[in-house]
């Protein structure tokens, strides 16, 4: 069994340079999974402040993905994973979407191609388990996005209180025990 975590996308390059993914729940989850014998990787996606599906795909496909793989996405990482699973028809063990995003939001429309793709609803037939984490105080479009994914893919929707967009600033901690519990079930 292995796990790959795809991080979210900061809104601007200067914000990306200030963001260190080692000060976020991703690294905590990675450490916990490795301690349980689950090989875990968090590839750094290229230029995440201007997400490009093809560039993400090129980097992501360096990872080993099989029927025992757990894929975890955060925010824009969820959009990437869902599109990639639909395109490749891969079978995996578990897909976890944390604060998933599906709605283009940039005024210049530069993110439309990344978010506005037809969702392949047959993904649910190739993934053993699907879990979606949302929060009661996430952005309105974030809550809408979670519902879009849940309607298209099914799976278990978990809404936690006061987690915002599941960032360190919103959560106030690097720990995410609820995610770990769901993965280890």
Largest CA distance in the chain: 44
Judging by beta carbons within 10 Å of its beta carbon (0-12, 13-18, 19+), is residue 107 exposed, middle or buried? exposed
Q: 4: closest CA among 66, 54, 90, 53?
A: 66
The pTM for the full model equals 0.94
Judging by beta carbons within 10 Å of its beta carbon (0-12, 13-18, 19+), is residue 160 exposed, middle or buried? middle
Q: What is the pLDDT of residues 100-112, one digit of tens each?
A: 999 988 888 788 9
Q: What is the pLDDT of residues 112-135, one digit of tens each?
A: 999 999 999 999 999 999 999 999
Q: What is the pLDDT of residues 62-99, one digit of tens each?
A: 999 999 999 999 999 999 999 999 999 999 999 999 99
Mean pLDDT across the chain, nearest whole number?
92
Secondary structure tally for the chain: helices H, strands E: 9, 6
Residue-level pLDDT at 164: 94
Residue-level pLDDT at 111: 85
End-to-end CA distance of the chain: 13
Chain Cα centroid distance, residue 158 = 14
């Amino acid at each position: 069994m292995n796990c790959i975590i795809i991080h979210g996308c900061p809104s601007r390059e200067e914000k990306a340079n200030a963001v260190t993914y080692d000060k976020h729940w991703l690294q905590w989850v990675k450490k916990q999974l490795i301690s349980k014998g689950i090989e875990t990787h968090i590839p750094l996606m290229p230029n995440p402040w201007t997400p490009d599906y093809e560039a993400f795909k090129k980097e992501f496909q360096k990872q080993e993905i099989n029927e025992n793989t757990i894929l975890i996405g955060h925010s824009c990482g969820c959009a990437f994973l869902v599109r990639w699973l639909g395109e490749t028809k891969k079978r995996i063990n578990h897909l976890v979407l944390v604060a998933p995003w599906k709605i283009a939001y940039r005024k210049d429309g530069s993110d439309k191609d990344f978010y506005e793709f037809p969702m392949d609803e047959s993904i649910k037939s190739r993934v053993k388990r699907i879990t979606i984490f949302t929060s009661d105080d996430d952005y309105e479009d974030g809550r809408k996005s979670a519902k879009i994914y849940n309607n298209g893919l099914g799976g278990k929707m978990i809404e936690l209180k006061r987690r915002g967009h599941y960032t360190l600033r919103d959560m106030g901690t690097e720990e995410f025990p609820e995610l770990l519990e769901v993965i280890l079930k």
